[in-house]
Amino acid sequence: MSLLCTTFVSTQIIMAPSKFATVESAPPIEVFALNKAYVEDTFPQKVNLGVGAYRTDEGKPWVLPVVRHMEQKLAADETLNKEYLPVLGYEPLASAATCMLLGSDSVSLKEGRATGIQCLSGTGALRVGAEFLARIGNHSVVYSSNPTWGNHSLVFLNAGFTSYRSYRYWDAAKKALDFDGLMEDLRNAPENSVIILHACAHNPTGVDPTQDQWKQIADLIEERRLFPFFDSAYQGFASGDLDRDAWAVRYFDSRGFEMVCAQSFAKNFGLYNERVGNLTFVAKDRSVIEPVRSQITLLVRANYSNPPNHGARIVGTVLNDPVLIEQWKSHIKTMADRIISMRHGLRERLEKLETPGTWNHITDQIGMFSFTGLGPLAVDKLIADHHIYLLKGGRINMCGLNSGNIDYVAKCIHEVVTTTQEASL
């Protein structure tokens, strides 16, 4: 029988209505809908500042040279096969990722109180960690910053949390962290609440607490008996320095917190579609590690059974190789530096054009995203009149800027800010 599908038209059978006839369409995911609109736009000067991925100065995706090298090596290695990985993943990846996060001096690592589990990129690590906390740890309330990455609520509610709440984060008037609001909201959080903390390069604002503020946050989390859940999607990618970007997580670790951290290798390795991630779990007592791992084994087994090998082997090999890791560090520096130079370029142009408002926040913020402060009218006009695509909250991906489009983008921002006269968000 042919495997090709053929069209079958029945005139005989009267179909009963589908039992799914009452299913309503779910709302579109903003970032994917925006990307689709960009792709379908035929305007030659269109600019995509929406999608959360790195682009070169030529506006192209970048496969890191060290990744290309590893792929060629893996393809040529006939000793490798396609057997299943263990349920908790490729151990050289999980242990190297945990060490990269906590640092080789970590006391919890030395004492065997920290462990890593390979997961399906950052989202998968968030989901496994959330399921573990909801089902096994009996946590039901989770707090994330307002605003936050659009997927946090979906992940935590689907994982079994029954109450998703926000703590204040962005002070729109000052275009800066609302630290007092954050502290007040955490102070009022019920004991045992899980607190999602962006490890660095907060998405979408690009604004991180200072080290002193992190210390106060840690004090409060300890005092109020809250549970820290770090989300680390940009280590190394934010500042170009792996240690600097891990400061907050390492500080909590050094204070002996029990915590989890979801790590993504999508951005810093450019491995978006390979889904390489790690869930680091830190306990107060090493005797907890084996039972926790065994429970997570069952959660994973019931979900996707075991993770994929290809990307894990790339990252696991690079992180464990003294020569390759240096190459990779130079790549993350290239990406981080390009983003920083685009920040300076955009700010400089807007200031030169005397665009109303202040623009220092563009260079004060860190990481892939900038929360521009552009209001909804300005965003609408940028998309509709100028074919510049950005999220409706005013977030732009700095990597979408390049030497070929930065003048155009600055000119259009100037135009919409001047004509909308909108108070910035």
Ligand X SMILES: Cc1ncc(COP(=O)(O)O)c(C=O)c1O
Could you say which of 48, 121, 309, 402 contacts ligand X (CB under 6 A)? 121
Contact yes or no for 126/153 (Cβ under 8 A): no
* 277 scored as a contact of ligand X (CB under 6 A): yes
Query: Catalytic amino acids?
Result: 149, 231, 267
Contact yes or no for 276/369 (Cβ under 8 A): no
Q: With respect to ligand X, which residue has the nearer C-beta, 28 or 112?
A: 28
Q: With respect to ligand X, which residue has the nearer C-beta, 124 or 375?
A: 124
Q: Which two tokens stand for residue 376?
A: 């909804």
Contact yes or no for 242/337 (Cβ under 8 A): no
The strand pair at 176-177 and 276-282 is best described as: unpaired
* 233 scored as a contact of ligand X (CB under 6 A): yes
Q: Which segment (2-10, 116-124, 317-325, 386-394) binds ligand X by CB under 6 A? A: 116-124
Strand partners, 261: 230, 280
* 52 scored as a contact of ligand X (CB under 6 A): yes
Instruction: Report, in Å, the least distance between residue 272 CB and ligand X.
Output: 6
Q: With respect to ligand X, which residue has the nearer C-beta, 232 or 317?
A: 232
Instruction: Report, in Å, the least distance between residue 273 CB and ligand X.
Output: 9
Instruction: Report, in Å, the least distance between residue 277 CB and ligand X.
Output: 6
**Angle, helix 91-102 to helix 247-254, in steps of 10 degrees:** 90
Other CB atoms within a 10 A radius of the CB of residue 266 amount to: 23
* 123 scored as a contact of ligand X (CB under 6 A): yes
* 370 scored as a contact of ligand X (CB under 6 A): no
With a CB cutoff of 8 Å and minimum separation 6, the contacts of 205 are: 147, 169, 170, 177, 365, 369, 371, 395
Residue 142: its H or E element:
strand 141-146
* 264 scored as a contact of ligand X (CB under 6 A): yes
149-208 residues in contact with ligand X (CB under 6 A) are: 149, 198, 203
Instruction: Report, in Å, the least distance between residue 15 CB and ligand X.
Output: 39
* 129 scored as a contact of ligand X (CB under 6 A): no
Strand partners, 396: 370
What does R_g of the chain's alpha carbons equal in angstroms?
A: 23
Distance CA 329, CA 315 (A): 12
Comparing CA positions, the residue from 120, 139, 367 lying closest to residue 259 is 139
213-232 residues in contact with ligand X (CB under 6 A) are: 231
Q: Which two tokens stand for residue 314?
A: 């790339």
Instruction: Report, in Å, the least distance between residue 275 CB and ligand X.
Output: 7
Site string for ligand X, 324-363 (x = CB under 6 A): ----------------------------------------
Site string for ligand X, 131-150 (x = CB under 6 A): ------------------x-
Give contact residues for ligand X (rule: CB under 6 A): 52, 121-123, 149, 198, 203, 231, 233, 264, 266, 277
